[in-house]
Each structure stands twice: as structure tokens, then as C-alpha cells.
Structure 1
Amino acid sequence: MGSVTLAELRHGLRRWLAPAVAVVLGVAFLTATLAMRSTLNATVERFAAAQVAGADAVVSPPGKSSSTTGLTADQLQTVRQLPGVTQVDVEQSATTTVRGPDGAPLDVVARTVDPDQVVLLSGRTPAGPGQVVLSESAASALGATTGSVVTVGGAPGRAESRQVAGIVRVPGSTGVAVVIGTSGELTRWSGTTAYDALLVRAGGDQAATADRLRAALGSGVTVRTADAEIAARVDRLVVGISQITMFFAVFAIVAIFVSALVIANTFQILLAQRSRQLALLRCVGASRRQVTRSVVGEAVVLGLLASAVGVAVGLAPVAALAAVSDTVQLVQLPIESLRVSALELLVPVAVGLTVTVLAALQPARRASRVAPLAALRPELSGPAQTRASRLRLLAGGTTGALGFTGLLVSALRGEALPAVLCGVLSFLGVVLVAPVVVPLLARGLGRVARVAGVPGELATDNTVRNPRRTAATSTALLVGITLMATMLVGAQTSRAAIADAVDSQYALDVSLDAKGQAVAPALVERVERIDGIERTARLRAGKVSVGGARAAREQTVLGLPSDATAVLRDPSVVTAAAPGTVLVDELTAADLGIGDGDPVRLGPVTLTARVTDRSLDAFVVTAQDLARIAPDAPVAAMWLRLSPGADAGQVVGAVQRATAGTEVEVGGSAGARAELDSLVNLMLAVVTGLLGVAVVIALVGVANTLGLSVLERRRETALLRALGLTRRQVRRTLAIEALLVALVAAVLGTALGVLYGWAGTRALLGTYAAGAVPQLPWLLLTAVVLAAAACGLLASWAPGRRAARTSPVAALAAD
């Protein structure tokens, strides 16, 4: 039987192309995921080892490697005086301010970094006297280059003018603004005297050194050997890598699942076409076991060959990423080389082989049941089963009902994990009832297709003739489209829900606050002329004595003009402010002993308190009441609302440059909102690209099904040609058939995606999305449906040409 297997593979390469491509893509995805995980782990280990290089033991704050309190100077001195200690290096970080050449301030992270651990982009390192080294993010934000003069240190008396000696990339801090300095410089710039870690060299046994340090420092610190510290740092750093790996693994599973559907469908069709050949084998003495073994043997050979190719295809992009790691960084660390173990190469091969064999088992069992007398029949294949079993429908209906019910309940409760499990269960129910649902949808869409005449009628009949085949073909495409629609709806709904939450907590796009002092009129005019600002409001403020039941203190009181609510994203933040009332946040009210409805004396005026759960930086009253409280209150604040589509980063940067050199503080949520939108768009682009792999596999399955059905219906097509059907009509029939399958998957997948997208958002965000309704990106969803239709038509091109070339005489001749 082995010779038969090899012969089938040699003579049916075209038939085996689709399942082979499906296996290759699925295995490649899994291989790339495992290889990337191994490569990143090796990168992290090298990075952690470089940080601790040369040390015998590491001292850090209790329970963590760094802390806001950190280690003290006394502890550092104790370690340095310990017998046998030859050198102590410190790791230190703090927050400070750097002003660029134009005076614009930037909050940065000041760090002590070994020059050997950075990538020099320009200039030199380490810095010399009167110089400083900046990360590329800090230099870009400040508009600084090598040789520029910047001012480091935010507190009065700590600011130092420094020349930029070099610009570097700091591994582990990509995208973070960093200024590099010595421990003494960090103390001067920020005022901090705490240390994140002490790297101790003693020139002896690591364990003995750690024991001496523990004895000298007591239980208030964590002491590890260098090897243990490297392992601990790797564990912390690989948390993000594990999340990334899990993220990609999900899509690898999706790709493999779709591959299994394509493989099972292909084997089912191929074996149906070879029913006469298998029956002849039975006639000449082949047993059922031998027939099954033959089919499984074909699956084994196919799985091994395709999996091997898939491993090679999966390793290629990871190797390419490692080759360009000097310019492309992942998880903020440069990748030096591809690292992959033998096990990580064998696992994808085993998965590909297992999936292929399992997908072929049911068709193989069905093939072994072919009666020997079937070889005497003139048909190329036996009649297809047209009705799904009642047991399958019952199981699918029950599973789907339980899954959708659990999904809705979990979503309303905000329980993410149960929602995911119920979502998988509900989709399984959809797959089980697909042989009934898909033909019904295809028949409904076929009514429109019948306007195309005979090709439309034939395509509709062919689509519903074999429900299981049509369902299996559309299900593969359904998986990808459902997930795409889920991500589109989920991203849009999440963006709206989070934006509402941000608006309610941070209703202002941009705010300028002079802390009760006057804002210069020239500055007000400069800000109002900045492009990208739609509305502005000038607010007067003054400091007055405020008395409560518990305490009294001087408090800033803000006067709310009539045009202020038009600037806010959520006007309800200040709707409680009315004539005769003062708006106070809960924290301030608790400190002063003020309750809702209590009389509060503000200077010469007594107003009624309205306590709000919104965060406020000042007491808020109407502009008219402020005129009574502080008649000479200057314009001390501005509220700005950005224009639709404005670049928040550019606008905020322009405002910061306009206020540079003043005591005006710039705040607001525009930057956070823009960062959120950017993150959502990036994630959506990545997920869409990854799901595209599953869609490609599914389209390969559609093309394969159509191509094999052309061979299966060869005599039927020849008869139609003999009765007058033209070649163009044959091609049109196949195109409409593919279009119906694609549209059924698109319509059903979009409907499921809307439900899953909303439920997923509701489950993941919980109370933040309590009132969320599905936000439908109609343009993108329409694009998905149109793309599915276009891909279906593309998948029908080659099978349509093959069918159109069928010779009526040759096809009707007896085999």
C-alpha cells in the first residue's frame, strides 16, 4: 500500500497543494512564535547578565529590585566597609527636568547606566566635565543634537547647563526620555539619595559574599548572588515576552484550526472522487484496515513534508528580524541573533503532522467503508450526504444556546475568562449547526444570484447540494472574518468606552494653570492662535481663605465663565456649579470637614457646598460669584479644546513651547487620549495582519474546494456544455458559487463579530463599559465584506478556467 500512497502524492500534486499550503502556514506561524520566544529569552538573559557583569552579589530593597524608597547612603557605606569587598557599583534612577535649547521643559528619567550597555548613535560616551548624554527619545523631544546646550535639574539651585556629548539608545528604555549621569549628578539634579541596587564585588565565592552581606545589613534588604539576581531579572523581563508569545500563540492556534478544516474538507472530497479506485482495491483483496492505512499514510507524508517547509518559512522572518536588530527593536531590547532549540523545531513538525493525520482520520474511515461493488458503478463518486444528523444539530443547538447565554451573562458581570470560554463554546455550536445554517443563507443569497440566469441557478443549486462541504468550506473563512469583525467592533467599542471614561475623569483636552497668579495677556493670545485648537475659555482665579468644620486654609477659587462648558468633553463635571454654590471635590471636602449642602465661607461671601466625586484642583464657583469673592481676580487659567482630527502631540508641544520660561503648568488629557488611540490603532493593525494569515488559509481552502468540485463534476459540466452552456457561463457559475460561499461567511462572521466584539469589550473593561453599546465601524466592516467577496471571486478564477476547458466529448467518454 505504500507504493499507492507515493503514487497518489506524485500524480495528485495539484490536489494536495491546498492542504499543503494550509499546513505550511499554520506550522510557520507556530514556529515563528516559538522561535521568537526563544530568541527574546536569550536576548533578555544576555541583557540581564550584562547588567550584573563582574558582581558577586547584588543588594536591593526588600521584595524588589528597585523602589521609590530605595537603599540608603548608610547601607552603601556599610557594604563598602565590609571586609573583602573590593568594589561597589550603584544602580540609581530618579525623575528630573531637562530644558532643551529653546527652553522647553521635559520630564525625564535620570539613570546611572554603564557606557558598555548603550548603543552610541552620535557623539561620544561617557560624558566629560560639563557634558551630558541623552537617549534618542529625550534628544528628539528636546530638539537637541550633539553639541547642543541643555539645562538639567528641575528644582531651584539644582539646574546645571550641560553640553550634549552623545545621543544613545538605552536597551530596556526604548521610547523613554533618559538622561544619563553619575550617582552624584543624579543626587544634585533630583535631590534623591536612594539607590535601586548595589552591585558588590568581593572576589570570592558568591554564596559566601551574599551571606556576609545579609549578616551585615539585616533583614531590611534583599541580597542575592549574581546568578540568582540574573535569574530574577530575567523572570521580571520575560513577563512581557510571555504575554507577547501568548498573543501570537492565539493566532497560531487559529491558523492551525483553519488548516485542519481545509485539510479535512480536502481529504473528504479527494476520497469521494477516488471511491471507484478504493472499491477496486477492495475487489482485489485489500482490507478496510489497508485502505485506511493507505489514506493515513498519505496524510503522514503530506504532514511531514509540509511541516518541514513550514518550519523553514517560520524561521525566516525571525532570522530577518535578528539581522536588522540594530535598527528594529522588540520589547525594547536589541536582538543579536536567532536562537532556537531542537525541541522548538520538533514541536511545530509534530503539531503539523498530528493535525494533518487527525483531519484525515474521519475521511479515511469513510473511505474504508466503500463497498467493492461500487467499483462497477459508472459514477465517479457516490452521492454526497445532504442532511446533517439530528444528533449533530441537537448537540450544536444546545452548545450554541449554552455558549451564547453564558457569554452574555459573563459580559454583563464583567468576567473576562468565562466570557472567552463561553465565546469558544458558542462558536463551536455555530460550527456544528453550520450544515443547516449555511445552506439556508446561501439559498437566501442565491435568490439574488438567480438574476444572473442559468449560471446563478446552477451556482445556487451546487452550493446547497452538499451542505457539509459548503459548511466546511465557509467555516474556514468564517473563523477569520468573525475574528476580524470582533477586533474591529471591539476596538471601536473599547475606544468609545475608554474615551467616555477619560472624558468623565479628565474632561479637559489641555489646561493652563498659573496657580492663582495672572497669565500674561501676550501668552493668552499666543496660545489662542495655535493651530489645532477649536475653543478656548479664560478663567479668573484668586486665593481666598476657606473655612470648614475641621480646618481653614487658603484655597484657590476658580470662576467658571458661561463659555467654559463648551470647552469640556464632559460638561457634567461642572454642571453642579450654580449661582450661590461652590463645587468641592470629595478629598478636599473631607480634609476641611465640609459636607454636601453645608455653608462654606469664602472670603467675604458664604456659599452652599456641592461635593462631587470628580477630581478638582480648585474650588469652582460661577464667574459672578467670583466677582463678589475676589473682585480683582486675574485670568489665571485657560481651558483648551482641540479641533477634530488635530494632532494632540503637536498641539500640546506647541502649547508647552509657548509657555516655556513661565510658571504656567500645562495639563489635560489630550496626550493620554492620543496615546490611547495610537495604541488601539497599532494593536488593530497587528491583529488584522495576523488574522489575515487565517483568511489566506481559508481562501486557499475555498479555491481547493472549487477546484476539486470541478473535477468531481467533470461529467456534469461536460453534459451542460453539450446542452449549450458556454465557457463564459461555466466560469460565471463557479464565480457565483465562490461568491455565495464567501458572502455567507462574511455575513455570518460580521454578525457574530458584532456580538463577540461588544461582549468582549464589556467583559474586559467591566464597569468602564457598563453603558457601552456596540460601535460599528461601518466603513471597515463593509471593506471586510467586500474584500471577502473579492477574494472569493479570485479563488474561483483558476477552477473556473479549468472547468471552462472541459471537453464535452472527452468528459462524457467512459473511463
Structure 2
Amino acid sequence: MLRLTLAQMRRSLGRLASGGIAIAIGTAFVAATLLAGGVMTRTSYDSVAATLADADLLVEGDLTSDDLDALRGVPGVDAVQPDVHGWLEVRAGGGKRASLLALPRASDPRLDPLELVDGRLPERPGEIGLPAAAAERIGVSPGDEVVTSRVRWVPSEPGESPGPSSAPSPGSERNADPSEPAAQGSYESEDYPLEVTGLLDDPRGAYLAMGGAAVLPLEDVQAVSGAGSLDELQPTGALLALTPGTSTARTTTLIDEVLDDVTVLTPDEAAVRALGRVTQGTDVFTGLVLGFASIALVVAALVIANTFQVLVAQRTRTLALLRCVGALRRQVRRSVLVEAAILGSVASLVGLVTGTVLAQVALLVLQRVDLDVPLPGTVTLTPWVVLVPLAVGTSVTVLAALLPARAATRVAPVAALRPAELAEVGGRGGRARLVLSLLLTAGGFVALAGGVGLGMLANPMVGLALGVLGGATSFVGILLGAVFWVPRVVGLVGRTVAGNGPTARLATANTLRNPRRTAATSTALLIGVTLVALMSTGAASARVTLDRELDERYPVDVQVTAFDGGTDERPAVTGGAVSTLAAADGVAGTATLASTLAALERPGGGEEWLTDVYAVTPEVVRSLMRDGDVLANRLGPGTVVLGEEAAQGLGIADGDVVDVAARASWEEAALSPPGGRELGLRAAVVDMGSESAYVTPETLDDLSSEAPVTRVWVRLDDVTDAGTVVPALSDALADESVEVNGSALERAGNQRLIDTLLAIVVGLLGVAVLIALVGVANTLSLSVLERRRESATLRAIGLSRRRLRWMLAIEGALIAGVGAALGVGLGVLYGWAGSATLLGAMGDVVLSVTWWHLVLVLVVALAAGMLASVVPGRAAARTSPVAALGVD
């Protein structure tokens, strides 16, 4: 039988090729999806964890110098980099300025997220490495000198009036702890020259939102921050580089034994947590990967099963002939299954290679696009990526061949050799099929709804699993019952074109004459179009929803803040800077904010929190913020608006009365008793990440009648242009003593990440469209070839070749159009359900549809239906009626 099976495969290469193409494309889609999932995961992790460089572990928690020494003593730890920073303003000889984050030089290259592009890194106090963009802006290069301000604590001489008690460094927002011992003295600022030793690049965008980062020796970071020691910089964590081969799990255990109250994370774990903060605790990107992989498996299984069932069903007469010459049922069944296994394994291997090549080509194309997102250079082949497509393609092909083979062997040989009767759907088997279809469809939609509810209210991953199961079950039920409803729908649509002549009426009648054939042909396209519509709708909904989430998380595009150089006077933004911002290209609007330093006291007394209190009106908030309703709706007379984190740290609940006292300077904040006005304001706690507090201008006047303008809010025309507009603003303000930062750059980075992930989805859509086209072409071609005798009969009774071709084209367009329209409807439904499941935990989900995608799919489906019917129809039309009638 094996030789006979191989001989049959050689004789049926044409038919097997069409089935093999469907299998190969289905497995290619599975492989491409799994590879794309790996790229999506790696890209999202690397993007949000850019500041971690190539660290092996991240230790989070308040650390001291002794804690850092203890970390260095842990076996397997090569280097420890404390998480500390400062701020500095560098001035060039021509008066150009740049405000930058000040970072200490990394103790190990693996812990440095910045790359040296020119010169060398600073090695001793008095040296600095500048971002290449900032150096170009102020006109310096390696070897030049810049000047910054160094803040020093100068103790009072004996006999001088008492000074402030251990005031925090100017420009920082720290809590004043009255329990600290008093130290007499004051802060003094002095010029501090620095030699530029090198230029730096930030390839991962780690410090985009801060306007760039400079690198200095640790001693200089302390000096520009006014800190006398590393402990005064208050490290909030540390990056660890381990000896190659060291177990991260073992090192984590050792660190937990050495230090208390710290959290040890791998970079991937830190990235997952960071993504959770962006998406309100929902791991959306992992969910997208799992969702696409699950959809790929289900759709590939359906496409392969549908195509192979048609292929095997066409050979029922051949299998029956084998029974007549003595083959046993089990031999025939085994022959079909061996043939399916060979075809499935070979086609799956081709699909695996094709999917891998397509994924790598797509990755190379994305790398040539300026996305500013850290894409890997090559796809990563894992055992899952290799084994899953091969297993799916082979096993599904065998399962798809099992039912037709079983049906063929159960028919008596003589009965099977008779002409096939029209499919009966009203008998016992039809009723059982109808009942099973209804049960699967109804049960699947119930499970799908349950997955949506579970994803929105509880666990998105569990909801996703239940939703995929429900969606797959309902879709199988719809396909199982397609033989009942697809021909009727096609018939209803066909009646609208039947009046165009006998050819159209004949095409409509053909679609109703064999319901199983019509259903099989239409569902081939239904599967592919449903997938395309599902992914397009899901991607559009995810884009709009994540955009709204970014609007809430990053409400202000750009903030221009007067730089505090350590003087007692509060700095102010000049009118020239405000005018420059308002006239800049790419700026949609600006607003000035006056502020005062204030102390907020915990309810019931206790520790004070020092912060800047800004005055703003609800109208300004709504016009300048991306999502200003949360803040604008709570602003009012006698109210101070606080972010949730700040309120929780102070133990303030919404509606509490908080004592707010104005302070003229950080030094005055340490005076006992302090000066300044004090008001009792009602706290309004909102979901806002800002560490500042907001009041109305009238309330600020009551606190401080001479509060200067210290900040300007800037709204951009298009936030995705932040990478161009924000550096241009920095260039325009190079003569001003201001810091240009804000959320636009970070928001744009996240937007680019989303765009990149959705670009990967678009690539998957392209593969899905190809699957749909091949599926309908295969099924329609096989259907037309199967009816060559019918076509010959029509030719014999007078139907012209042109009308025969036109009849087949109309029939193909009817079946394909109905399948595509139904697929669009199902795809939109499934796409919305998947979006609600994955994104519901983040908040309100915006369900969106990219209609032009779906219209394009319908047009392509109609064209594919006509072409798939016309090509084999021309072959049938060219064959003489006598020869065609003689075909067995």
C-alpha cells in the first residue's frame, strides 16, 4: 500500500500541490506569528527597560553606602552601579546653555546605557561627557570647556545669626525632616568649570524625556547636587553586572539574605513591571503575542482542514475502486493517512522556512525605517518556533484527512462508484449536524462573553484564554453549520443579479444545487477574511485605546521650567522665552504657570512635604493638556489638587483639609518657626503622576502675592513629531536658563513602540490576506475542475464559451462576496471582543474599525473569487464537450 500511496501522490501532484500550498501558508503564518511575537516581546522589553543597559539584575529599594558595599561583596557580582542622578546647567563661552540630567560614570560598560561616539569618558573630577546633540546645540566639542554651578554648604562663622537647619539641596523636592539635628550655615553657588572629554549617544532613548544626560565622575554629581556624600543623593536602587555564568536566581537569594526591604528583578521582570505601569497593570503586549499565536493555530487548522477535506473528498471514487479490487478498509484508511502525513510534513517544513524568511525580511525592512525603537537584528529560532508549526501542519492535515477517509471506506464500493447524489441536509445526519452547530455556536459566544467579562474585571490572561476558546468554538460551530445558511444567503444575494440574464440565473442556481460545495468554497474565504478583519479591528482598537492611555499618563507635551541654580530667589521664565515658545514651529499653544514653594502638612500634624504649587485655570488645563478633564474638573477656589502617589505618601484622602504654607525659598523652609502665609485647603486627589500640586490663580495669590512665572506648558501640533520639535525648542532657548523636558519625548517613544508593534501586525495581516486568497483560489479551482463534466454538458446544449466563463465568474464572485462580507462581520465582532478582553483592565476601551482596510478586503475578495473561477473556467471552456464528457 505504501508504494500504491506514493504512486497515487505522483499521479495527483497537481491536486496535492494546491492542498500543500494551503498547508505551507498556514504553517508559515503560525511560524511568522510566533517569531513576530518574540520580536514584539523583545522590542517592548528593551524599549521600556532602556536605562537598565545590559545589567543582569536590578535591586530596588532605599540603599546606603554600606548596602552598596554589601552588594559588591556578594559572590558573583562584578560591578554595582547606584541609581543616583542630579541636574546641571552647562554654559558655553558664547552664552549658550543646556540643562541636562547628571549621571555618574558607570563602573562597568555593561551598566552604561549611553554610547561614546567621540573622545573619551570622564575619568577625574572636572571632566564631563556631553550628549552629542546638546554639545552641538551650545557649540562645544571634546577639549572645550563649559561652566556649571556647584552648590556647597557653608557653615556659619561663630557669632553669626542662626541659619537654616540642614536644608535640602536647592531644586530638589524632598521632605523636610524636623527630627534631623540643626546645622548652622547656608548654601552657596559658585561657577565650576568642566572639560568636555567626550560626546555621547543615547541609542535606546533612555533619557529622551529628560532632554538628555551628561556623564560625570560621582564626586562631581554630588557637587552639582549640593550633596556631601553618596548617601545624601539617596540611591533608590542599583544595577548589577554578574560574572559570566553566574546564576541570577542564586544571586537573588544571596542578596535577599544580605539586605532587607529590597526587591531584586531581572531586566525582563523590570520591563514587565514597567509595561504594567504604562498599561495599568495589564501585560497587553504579552497578551497580544499569545492572542495572535492562538489565532494563528486555530485559523491554520481551519484552512488546512477545509482544503484537505475537499481534496480527499474528490478521490472518493478512486478509493472505492481500490475497495473493489480487494483493498481492506483499514488499508485504504491507512493509505489516506500516510499520504496526508507525508504531504503535511513536507508542506509544513516548507511553511516553516517560508515563515522564517518572511519574518526576517520584515524585520530588515523595519530596521531601515527610522522608528527609534530597539529592534533585534535577527529573529530568534526557539524549539517552540520550529516544533509547533511542524506539529500543527502535520497533525491537522492528518486529522483533516481522517473524516473523509473514514466516510469513503464506510460506503459500499459499488455505491461509491455510482454518480454522487446531491447533498442532503435534511436527514438524520443533517439534523445532528445542525444541532451540534447551534450548540457550538451558542456555547462559544457565551464563553467569549465570559472571557470579555473576566478580562475586564479580573485576570486579562485568563480572560484571553477563555475568549480564544470561546471564539474558536463559536467559529467552528459557524463553519459546521455553513452548509445550512451559506447557500441560502448566497441565493438571496444571487436573486439581485439573476435579472441580468440567463447566465446570471444559471450561476445563482448552481450555488444552490450543491450546498456542501457552495459552503466549502465560501468558508475558505470566510476564514481568511475573518482573520484579517479580526486583526485589523483589534489593532485599531488597541491603537486608539493605548493613545488615550498615553494621553492620561503624559498629559503635558513639553514643560519649560526656569533652572534653579542654587540661589535663594525663585527663578522665573523670561518673557522672551515665552514669546520664543509661542512662535516656534510645531507648537499648537502655550500657557505660563506661576508658582510658589509650599509646605503641605499631614492631616493631624507631623512631617511636612515641600513641593511647588502651580496656579492654573480649568480653561488652560483643557486647552493645553492631552487629557485635562481629570485635573480641570477638580480645580476650584479653596482646593489643592494632588496626585494619588503624593497623597498616599502623606496620608491625605480626598476631601481632607490640608494646611498649605508658602515658603520664599528652600532655606526659609528650614527656619523654625517658618514665615509665609498659611491656608487650609481641601485636597482633591486625582489619578495624576505629577509630584507638584495645583491651585487656582486666586488661591495662589492668597498664598503668595508675588509668585513668579516658573513654568511654561507647551502643546505640540503633533506629538509624534516631538523628536524634531523638542530639540528645536532647546536650540531656540539655548540663551535662556531653562530646562526643556516633559512627556512628549517619552510619549513619542512609547508611540513609536506601539507603531512598531502594529507594523508587525500589518505584516501578519499581509500573510493572512495571502492565506485567504490561496484558500479561496484552491477551493474554487477544485470546485470548477470537479464540475468539468457539468460544464461540458452545458456546452453541448448550446452554452457559449464566453457565457460559460462569465457564469463561473459570477458564481465565484457571489460565493466569495458573501463569504467576505460575513467574514468582515465576524472579524469585527471577534476583534472587539479581544480588545475588550485584553485592554479592559486598563479602563475604558475604545472600539475602533479601520473601514478602508475592510472595504479593501471586500474588493480583493470579489476579485479573487472571479479570478479563481475564470482561470480554471477557461481551461474547461477550451476543452471540447466530447473530451470533457469522457473525463472520468
TM over 0.5: yes
Deviations 1:204-244 (A, max 9, x none): x999xx99x97xx993249xxxxxx9xx9698699899998
Which of 516, 535, 560 pairs up with 2:617?
Answer: 560
Question: 2:504 is matched with which residue?
Answer: 456
SS of the residue aligned with 1:438? helix
Structure 1: how far apart are the matches of 2:819 and 2:145?
Answer: 59
Q: Is the Cα contact below 8 Å between 2:655 and 2:682 reproduced in 1?
A: yes
Structure 2: how far apart are the matches of 1:604 and 1:99?
Answer: 32
Shift of 1:133: 6.6
User: 1:105 and 1:404, CA in 2 relative to 1: closer, same or farther beyond 3 A?
Assistant: farther
Shift of 1:196: 3.6
1:485 corresponds to 2:533? yes
Q: How does 1:145-294 map to 2 (within 5 A)?
A: 147=142, 156=151, 161-163=194-196, 165=198, 192=230, 196=238, 219-221=257-259, 251=292, 254-294=295-335
Shift of 1:608: 7.5
TM-score (norm. length: structure 2): 0.71
SS of the residue aligned with 1:647? helix
Shift of 1:362: 0.6
Q: Is the Cα contact below 8 Å between 1:714 and 1:806 reproduced in 2?
A: no
User: 1:391 and 1:695, CA in 2 relative to 1: closer, same or farther beyond 3 A?
Assistant: farther
Out of 151-160 and 250-259, give the one that drifted further.
151-160
User: 1:599 and 1:690, CA in 2 relative to 1: closer, same or farther beyond 3 A?
Assistant: closer
Deviations 1:337-357 (A, max 9, x none): 98777x975665444322221
Question: 1:573 is matched with which residue?
Answer: 631
Q: How does 1:387-466 map to 2 (within 5 A)?
A: 389-412=430-453, 414=456, 415=458, 416=460, 417-434=462-479, 435=482, 436-450=484-498, 452-466=500-514
Structure 2: how far apart are the matches of 1:197 and 1:800?
Answer: 68
Structure 2: how far apart are the matches of 1:200 and 1:593?
Answer: 42
Structure 1: how far apart are the matches of 2:367 and 2:577?
Answer: 43
Question: 2:778 is matched with which residue?
Answer: 704
Q: How does 1:396-795 map to 2 (within 5 A)?
A: 396-412=437-453, 414=456, 415=458, 416=460, 417-434=462-479, 435=482, 436-450=484-498, 452-503=500-551, 507-514=555-562, 517-541=571-595, 550=604, 556=613, 558=615, 560=617, 565-568=622-625, 569-571=627-629, 573-577=631-635, 581-585=638-642, 596=655, 609=682, 611-613=684-686, 615=688, 617-622=692-697, 633-643=707-717, 647-660=721-734, 662-666=736-740, 669-671=743-745, 673-766=747-840, 768-770=842-844, 772=845, 774-795=847-868
Q: Is the Cα contact below 8 Å between 1:488 and 1:777 reproduced in 2?
A: yes
Shift of 1:529: 0.6
Out of 299-308 and 345-354, give the one that drifted further.
345-354
Shift of 1:695: 3.4
Q: Is the Cα contact below 8 Å between 2:776 and 2:865 reproduced in 1?
A: yes
User: 1:491 and 1:670, CA in 2 relative to 1: closer, same or farther beyond 3 A?
Assistant: farther
Q: Is the Cα contact below 8 Å between 2:115 and 2:201 reproduced in 1?
A: yes
Shift of 1:148: 8.4
- Percent sequence identity is 36
Gaps of 5+ in 2: 43-51, 153-190, 276-282, 565-569, 662-675
Amino acid at match of 2:443: L
User: 1:472 and 1:422, CA in 2 relative to 1: closer, same or farther beyond 3 A?
Assistant: farther
Shift of 1:358: 1.3
Q: How does 1:359-378 map to 2 (within 5 A)?
A: 359-374=400-415, 377=418
User: 1:677 and 1:749, CA in 2 relative to 1: closer, same or farther beyond 3 A?
Assistant: farther
Amino acid at match of 1:759: A
Q: Is the Cα contact below 8 Å between 1:23 and 1:306 reproduced in 2?
A: yes
Deviations 1:54-97 (A, max 9, x none): xxxx9x9xxx64335457358639978x9xx9996544554455
SS of the residue aligned with 2:589? strand
SS of the residue aligned with 2:60? coil
Structure 1: how far apart are the matches of 2:834 and 2:362?
Answer: 32
Question: 1:225 is matched with which residue?
Answer: none
1:112 corresponds to 2:106? yes
Q: Is the Cα contact below 8 Å between 2:603 and 2:658 reproduced in 1?
A: no
1:383 corresponds to 2:422? yes
Shift of 1:451: 5.2
Structure 2: how far apart are the matches of 1:506 and 1:265?
Answer: 48
TM-score (norm. length: structure 1): 0.76
Amino acid at match of 2:725: V
Question: 2:343 is matched with which residue?
Answer: 302
User: 1:238 and 1:348, CA in 2 relative to 1: closer, same or farther beyond 3 A?
Assistant: farther
Q: Is the Cα contact below 8 Å between 1:544 and 1:555 reproduced in 2?
A: yes
Amino acid at match of 1:531: D
User: 1:354 and 1:460, CA in 2 relative to 1: closer, same or farther beyond 3 A?
Assistant: same
Name the count of aligned residue pairs: 773
Structure 2: how far apart are the matches of 1:523 and 1:449?
Answer: 69
User: 1:373 and 1:264, CA in 2 relative to 1: closer, same or farther beyond 3 A?
Assistant: same
Shift of 1:717: 0.9
Shift of 1:166: 6.3
User: 1:152 and 1:110, CA in 2 relative to 1: closer, same or farther beyond 3 A?
Assistant: farther
Gaps of 5+ in 1: 43-50, 223-228
Shift of 1:482: 2.9
Structure 1: how far apart are the matches of 2:882 and 2:485?
Answer: 38
Structure 1: how far apart are the matches of 2:785 and 2:694?
Answer: 80
Amino acid at match of 2:11: H
Question: 1:48 is matched with which residue?
Answer: none
Shift of 1:713: 0.6
Q: Is the Cα contact below 8 Å between 2:453 and 2:463 reproduced in 1?
A: no
